[in-house]
C-alpha cells in the first residue's frame, strides 16, 4: 500500500506518500527544457507505472501469440493473460459477470460500439437520444450520426454557469420517445462530477437505459456499475495508467445479448456459411478480429497497480491538490476559472484576459509544464461558457503541491510577458 500512517489527535489517518508513488512512474523523472517535467495533462493521457510497462514487455518477450484460436502453449498463455485481464476489469467495476466487460480500444470505439449495436437496432424515426451540454465529442457525434440515419432527434440537458447539469430540466426531457441517455461521469473540460446514480434512477423510472462515458470517471472515482445501475459504462485505459489501445465497454448482459455486433469477422462467430452467419456468445460477439492483446493485459496490470494503492487516500490527496491549485490560481488577477461546480475532480481549466490559451500552453511548455490548450473535444462547452478555448491543467495522484506552485508561478510569468 502506498500510504503512510499519520497519527492525528489520537486518530490514525492515512496520508498519501506522493514521493513514493512518483518512483513508480519512470516518465516523471525526466527534464523538459532543462526543468523537471511537470505533467499536468492527465485528462488526455495519464502516465504508466513501471509494473505495467514490465507486464507489457513480458507479454512481448514470453507470451506473444494470438488468443482464443490456438491449441499451442503460447496461445494458451496469451489467452489466459487476456481473459485474466477481463476478470480484473470485472472486479474493478463490480460487474456481475466478466462476459459483460467487452474489450475495445477506448471510449470512442466503445461509444460507437453501443451506437451501432444498440442504437441502430432500437432507435427509429421520431425517437430521441438525450446527451448533456458538457459532453466530449465522442459522446455527441456517434449519436448525431445515428439520429441522421434514423430520423431521430438529439436532446441536450442544459447546465448552469458553474458547469452543473440542471436535473429538473433533465427529467423534463425524458419521455416515451427517449431511447437512451448518454452522459459523462466526469467532465474532461470542466471537471464536474455528474450525479450518475440519481440520473440513472430517473431514467429507469421511465424505462430508459443510460450509458456513462467513464473516460474521466474511472481514473479518479471508485466505479461500481451495479450500484450506479447504469446500462453501459465505457472506459479508456490510457487515462487510467494503462497503455493506449486498451478500454472497456461494460454492458448489462440483457442488453448485450439483444444487441447487434459492431464489427464482423473472425472470433465473433459461431458458424459461417455463404447463406448465413450465427454469432458467438458474449463477450466474443463484440470482439471481432485480433484485439490489442498486449494493451488489454497492460490494463489488467494497471488495475493490479490501483488495487495495490490506497485509492481512498489517493482520491483525498487529489482533491486536496485540486483545491490548493484552484485557490492559488484563482487569486491571480486576470485569471478566470471555467468550471466551478461544487462536485469536481481532476481538472482545473482557466482563461486569462487577453491571452490566448495556446500562448499560455506554449509558454508553460518552455517551463517544462505540460498542460492542454484548446477546446478539449468539447466545442459545445466552449460555446456555452462563451470562450473560444481554455487552458487546462489536469491532475493525477502523482502530482505535487510544488508542481501546482510551478503552474501558478508560470501563469504569473505569462501575464508579465504579455503586460
Residues that bind ligand PLP (CB under 6 A): 43-44, 106-108, 136, 138-139, 184, 188, 213, 215-216, 236, 377
The answer to whether the beta carbons of residues 122 and 255 sit under 8 Å apart is no
> Which C-beta is closer to ligand PLP: that of 249 or that of 414?
249
* In the complex, minimum distance from the CB of residue 136 to ligand PLP, in angstroms, rounded to a whole number: 4
* In the complex, minimum distance from the CB of residue 176 to ligand PLP, in angstroms, rounded to a whole number: 29
3-state SS of the chain is CCEEEEEECCEEEEEECHHHHHHCCHHHHCEECCEECEECECCCCCCCCHHHHHHHHHHHHHHCCCCCCCCCHHHHHHHHHHHHHHHHHHHHHCCCCHHHEEECCCHHHHHHHHHHHHHHHHCCCCCEEEEECCCCHHHCHHHHHHHHHHCCEEEEECECCCCCECHHHHHHHCCCCEEEEEEECECCCCCEECCHHHHHHHHHHCCCCEEEECCCCCCCCCCCHHHHCCCEEEEEHHHCCCCCCCEEEEECHHHHHHCCCCCCCCCCEEEECCCCEEECCCCHHHCCCCCCHHHHHHHHHHHHHHHCCCHHHHHHHHHHHHHHHHHHHHCCCCEEECCCCCCECCEEEEEECCECHHHHHHHHHHCCEECEEECCCCHHHHHHHCCCCEEEEECCCCCCHHHHHHHHHHHHHHHHHHC
> Which C-beta is closer to ligand PLP: that of 105 or that of 150?
105
* In the complex, minimum distance from the CB of residue 377 to ligand PLP, in angstroms, rounded to a whole number: 6
> Which C-beta is closer to ligand PLP: that of 190 or that of 325?
190
> Which C-beta is closer to ligand PLP: that of 86 or that of 392?
392
Active site residues: 377
> Which C-beta is closer to ligand PLP: that of 46 or that of 79?
46
* In the complex, minimum distance from the CB of residue 214 to ligand PLP, in angstroms, rounded to a whole number: 8
* In the complex, minimum distance from the CB of residue 394 to ligand PLP, in angstroms, rounded to a whole number: 9
> Which C-beta is closer to ligand PLP: that of 16 or that of 250?
250
Residue 252 Cα distances to 130, 198, 210, 269, angstroms? 19, 18, 11, 21
* In the complex, minimum distance from the CB of residue 215 to ligand PLP, in angstroms, rounded to a whole number: 3
* In the complex, minimum distance from the CB of residue 296 to ligand PLP, in angstroms, rounded to a whole number: 14
> Which C-beta is closer to ligand PLP: that of 145 or that of 332?
145
Amino acid at each position: 500500500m502506498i500510504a503512510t500512517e499519520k497519527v492525528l489527535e489520537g486518530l490514525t489517518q492515512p496520508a498519501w506518500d506522493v514521493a513514493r508513488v512518483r518512483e513508480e512512474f519512470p516518465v516523471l523523472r525526466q527534464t523538459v527544457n532543462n526543468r523537471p517535467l511537470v505533467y499536468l495533462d492527465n485528462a488526455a493521457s495519464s502516465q504508466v507505472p513501471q509494473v505495467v510497462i514490465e507486464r507489457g514487455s513480458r507479454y512481448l518477450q514470453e507470451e506473444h501469440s494470438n488468443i482464443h484460436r490456438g491449441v499451442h502453449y503460447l496461445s494458451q498463455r496469451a489467452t489466459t493473460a487476456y481473459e485474466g485481464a477481463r476478470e480484473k476489469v470485472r472486479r474493478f467495476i463490480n460487474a456481475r459477470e466478466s462476459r459483460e466487460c467487452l474489450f475495445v480500444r477506448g471510449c470512442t470505439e466503445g461509444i460507437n460500439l453501443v451506437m451501432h449495436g444498440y442504437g441502430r437496432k432500437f432507435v427509429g424515426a421520431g425517437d430521441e437520444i438525450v446527451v448533456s451540454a458538457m459532453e466530449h465529442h465522442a459522446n455527441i457525434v456517434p449519436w448525431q450520426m445515428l439520429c441522421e440515419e434514423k430520423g431521430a432527434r438529439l436532446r441536450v440537458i442544459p447546465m448552469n454557469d458553474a458547469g452543473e447539469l440542471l436535473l429538473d430540466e433533465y427529467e423534463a426531457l425524458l419521455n416515451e420517445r427517449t431511447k437512451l441517455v448518454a452522459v459523462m461521469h466526469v467532465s474532461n473540460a470542466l471537471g464536474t462530477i455528474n450525479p450518475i446514480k440519481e440520473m440513472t434512477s430517473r431514467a429507469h423510472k421511465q424505462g430508459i437505459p443510460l450509458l456513462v462515458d467513464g473516460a474521466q470517471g474511472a481514473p479518479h472515482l471508485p466505479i461500481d456499475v451495479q450500484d450506479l445501475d447504469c446500462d453501459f459504462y465505457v472506459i479508456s485505459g490510457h487515462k487510467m495508467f494503462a497503455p493506449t489501445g486498451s478500454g472497456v465497454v461494460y454492458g448489462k448482459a440483457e442488453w448485450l445479448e439483444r444487441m447487434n455486433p459492431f464489427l464482423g469477422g473472425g472470433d465473433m462467430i459461431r458458424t459461417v456459411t455463404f447463406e448465413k452467419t450465427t454469432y458467438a456468445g458474449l463477450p466474443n460477439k463484440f470482439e471481432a478480429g485480433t484485439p490489442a492483446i498486449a494493451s488489454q493485459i497492460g490494463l489488467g496490470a494497471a488495475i493490479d497497480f490501483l488495487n495495490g494503492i490506497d485509492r481512498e487516500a489517493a482520491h483525498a490527496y487529489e482533491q486536496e491538490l485540486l483545491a490548493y491549485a484552484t485557490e492559488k490560481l484563482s487569486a491571480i488577477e486576470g485569471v478566470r476559472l471555467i468550471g466551478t461546480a461544487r462536485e469536481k475532480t481532476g481538472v482545473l481549466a482557466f482563461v486569462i484576459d487577453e491571452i490566448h490559451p495556446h500562448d499560455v500552453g506554449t509558454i508553460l511548455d518552455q517551463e517544462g509544464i505540460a498542460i492542454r490548450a484548446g477546446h478539449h473535444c468539447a466545442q459545445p462547452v466552449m460555446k456555452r461558457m462563451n470562450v473560444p478555448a481554455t487552458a487546462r491543467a489536469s491532475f493525477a495522484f502523482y502530482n505535487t503541491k510544488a508542481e501546482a506552485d510551478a503552474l501558478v508561478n508560470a501563469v504569473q510569468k505569462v501575464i508579465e510577458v504579455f503586460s
